[in-house]
Amino acid sequence: MRSELDEGRAASPPVGRELDVGALGRAISARRWWILGPALACFVGALLFVSLVSPRYTAESKVLVENGENYFTRPDRSDQLATTLPDDETVQSQIQLIQSRDIARRAIRRLDLKGNAEFDPLAKGVGVLSRIAILLGLERDPTATSPEDRILSNYYDRLTVYSVPKSRVIAVEFTATDPDLAARAANTVAELFIEAQSAAKRDSASSAAASLASLVTDLRGRVADAEAKADAYRTQSGLLQGSNNANISTQQLGDLNTQLAQARTAQADSQAKAKVIKAMIAQNRVGEIPDVANNEFIRRLSEQRATLKAEIALQTRTLLPGHPHMQELNAQMADVDAQLRTAGEKMARTLENDGHIAAGRVENLLAALDAQKKTVGTAGVDQVRLNGLDSQARLLKDQLEFNTAKYQEAVARENAASTPADARVISRAVPPQLPSFPKKVPIIAIATIAGLVLSLGVLVSRELLSGRAFEEGETESPTVATAVREGRPVVTEAAREASGEASLQAALEALRGCRAQNHAARALVVPSAAGTEAPAAVIALARRLCAEGRTILVDCNAGRPAVQPRHLSLDSYGATDAAPLGLGELLAGGASFAEVIHRDSQSRLHVVPTGALAGTAEAFDAVGLVLDALGETYDYVVLHAPGASDPVTLRLAPDCDAVVMVHGPEAGAADLDEARAAVSRAGGPAIVHGVPAAALEPRAAVRRAA
């Protein structure tokens, strides 16, 4: 343990020095021209630079990427607008098209940049250094390349193409020393981009027309073959077309049905008329029969009968029925009636014969109809196959018509003088009035400020490195012992304080290590055998740990409690003459945590005084539960215990993570060895950290802060 204390003394840092701000300010004031001179030189240099450098002007044109088709140029002539709008990838692709080498070469030729000293390296000839670099292979010979290729590098350096955020607008910027050239170049690049899009559409239409031409030719041949097959099969199977797009067999079947209906109608009509005539003959009403009455012969007989009837009526007034003349008239009347009856019977027989003829015709038509039905049924299979051939031919014909229309549209687009592009210029570039480079005021200001800051930094660094900007810190004259005992080294007060600080830092580092393991660090603080400074040192150590985290001090030393009014200012002290509740009441169950935990008015420290605590080890049987409960709330739990060999200390040691022995200036290594042996036998930590009480005094804390 003595070797550990010696190593702490050897590793103690030397007394530090403080920065003298006043001395540094005086040094800066004395050498102000070392600061103002470079700043003024930077100002003059920047002013000369912005005055002599050739100004550059930047012109900008903007292109909107959109669908250029409308109702008149759209192939299908529909009123609906294109549902797909250009996305970000499309806009970026158009930017790459604007930056392509093809558009760049055409822009160089159209702007006539060959021979322009700003863009053409050969405009001023090849210098000596350039010739040497070309001979050594370090540079490419500009005379071995085409004019467009040697201008491309400078062209791309002056061209800037970007997309405007959250829009489909592409900005084309071009920089040149001539403002008119900058504006013409920006507009030319935009126009070439529009022309390239139109040309791409025409090329696409040309490719489509070429592919559609071969397709149309092939479809024409296939349509002719399909129609020829359908016609040949129609002729072969006898399925020739008649009127109303019906084949001959079907049409004949319909005609037979019509004739059969007519024959049946004629048969029924004849039979009905014959029946009616017979009935009227039986009733002696022959003259009322329509067909009989319309006969010329029957009409004359009817007229003759009417005349005879009138004559008989006339003669009846003068002649009797037996008169010969009356008998003659009656005989004539009977003859006329017989003739009428004979004519009616003849008409009835004629109608009956017509009915028989119609019945025979119906039978013949029924036989012909049955035969035609068989023929039509046999032709149904052939008709199905013929319909398939016609459908195939019709489908090929529809494809031919569709592709022919597309081919004609593609040919029209290919031959069109102007094809709408999917972009249009929405803002043309104009010659700028103000140069984009150099920005005179910002360049001069930045150069002047940079010179000022750089020179000031050099001066301050020089003063700091020389040490003149520091003042010596407070030191105390080491006190050397006038008489040195044999075997005891001469130790100064400063070295003793440094050793104490090192021991304190070692103890604090051990507690931090315990805290890093995600549980509260428990520190058992014991005084040395002859130590009288322990109570104040315990309070100082606990207050020191408050800066590390939430800390509580539990006073377990009933003989010499640390929590007293002269050592710790408590809010509860002075409020009443009664002693505050503490650990004794908590272990006995007579008080709660809220009643025994008090606040330190000088810091954030929480304390638990001894209270009515018995100084025996049996009184601490429940201390483990108390420490576990405090560990859930606090980061550090500091226990103030009696001496290292006290039974209370030996009871508390197994529940703690570190043991710190506070000793006075007269303590030696023997005290630490004795404390470590006692704690180790009790099952506590193997290492006991010795901390001088002087290291925890307020004066030492002030020096550490300094």
For residue 144, what pLDDT is reported?
Answer: 63
pLDDT at site 378 = 65
86 and 160 Cβ atoms separated by less than 8 Å: no
Whether residue 83 is predicted with pLDDT greater than 60 in this model: the reply is no
Single out the residue of 303, 277, 300, 302 nearest to residue 290, CA to CA.
277
For residue 14, pLDDT over 50 is answered with no
- What mean pLDDT is predicted for residues 141-157? 79
Largest CA distance in the chain: 217
* pLDDT reading at 192 higher than 70: yes
In a domain, 270, yes or no: yes
- The answer to whether position 476 is within a domain reads no
Residues 369 and 504 in one domain: no
Q: How confident is the model at residue 280 (pLDDT cuts 50, 70, 90)?
A: confident
Q: Which of 297-306, 336-345, 447-456, 681-690 has the weakest average pLDDT?
A: 681-690
Q: Is residue 107 part of a domain?
A: no
Closest CA to 184 of 335, 59, 52, 81: 59
* Domain-ending residue, one of 353, 378, 403: 378
Domain boundary among 378, 402, 420: 378
Give whole-number Cα distances, 68 to 171, 201, 264, 399, 564, in Å. 19, 11, 74, 29, 93
357's tokens? 């003829």
The radius of gyration of the chain from alpha carbons, rounded to an integer in Å, stands at: 65
DSSP 357-424: HHHHHHHHHHHHHHHHHHHHHHHHHHHHHHHHHHHHHHHHHHHHHHHHHHHHHHHHHHH-S----SEE
Q: What is the token pair recorded at 682?
A: 């009790």
- The average confidence (pLDDT) of the chain is 76
Please state, in angstroms and as integers, the Cα–Cα distance from residue 287 to each residue in 292, 333, 354, 687, following that order: 7, 14, 22, 160
Using CA atoms, how far apart are residues 564 and 610, in angstroms rounded to an integer? Answer: 10
- Number of structural domains the chain divides into: 2
pLDDT surpassing 90 at residue 190: yes
Angle, vertex CA 566, rays to CA 561 and CA 567, nearest 5: 60
Q: Is the pLDDT of residue 96 over 90?
A: yes
503-to-1, 298, 376, 506 alpha-carbon distances in Å: 11, 165, 124, 5
SS3 content of the chain, % helix, strand, coil (to 5): 60, 10, 30
Most confident of 69-83, 218-232, 343-357: 218-232
Instruction: Report the range of poorest mean pLDDT among 236-250, 577-591, 608-622.
Output: 236-250
How far apart, in whole angstroms, are the C-alpha atoms of residue 299 and residue 130?
140
Which pLDDT value is given to residue 421?
79
| Same-domain check for residues 663 and 514 | yes
Q: Kindly report the number of other CB atoms within 10 A of residue 612's CB atom.
A: 16
CB 627 within 8 A of CB 654: no
> Minimal CA–CA distance to 528: which of 687, 689, 637?
689
Residue 422 resides in a domain: no
pLDDT of 285 strictly over 70 = no
Could you give the CA distance from residue 556 to residue 546 in angstroms, rounded to a whole number?
Answer: 20
**Span 352-411, pLDDT tens digits:** 888 788 788 888 878 877 777 776 666 667 777 878 888 888 898 898 898 888 888 777
Highest mean pLDDT among 320-329, 413-422, 696-705: 320-329
547 lies in the same domain as 691: yes
DSSP string, 17-40: EEE-HHHHHHHHHHTHHHHHHHHH
With respect to residue 539, please indicate whether it lies within any of the assigned structural domains: yes
Task: For residue 599, tell me if it sits in a domain.
Answer: yes
- Spatial contact of 565 and 533, defined as CB atoms under 8 Å apart: no
From 378, 406, 437, the end of a domain falls on: 378
**Strands 159-163 and 598-599, bridge-based pairing:** unpaired
* CATH number, position 642: 3.40.50.300
Domain of 356? 245-378
* Distance in angstroms (rounded) separating the CA atoms of residues 562 and 693: 14
Considering only CA atoms, which of 498, 496, 507, 501 is closest in space to residue 689? 507
pLDDT of residue 431: 93
For residues 370 and 497, membership in a common domain is answered with no
Q: Tell me which residue of 558, 661, 549 sits closest to 606, measured CA to CA.
A: 549
| In a domain? residue 640 | yes
Higher-confidence residue of 153 and 693: namely 153
Residue at 499 is within a domain: yes
Low-confidence winner among 246-260, 339-353, 465-479 (lowest mean pLDDT) = 465-479
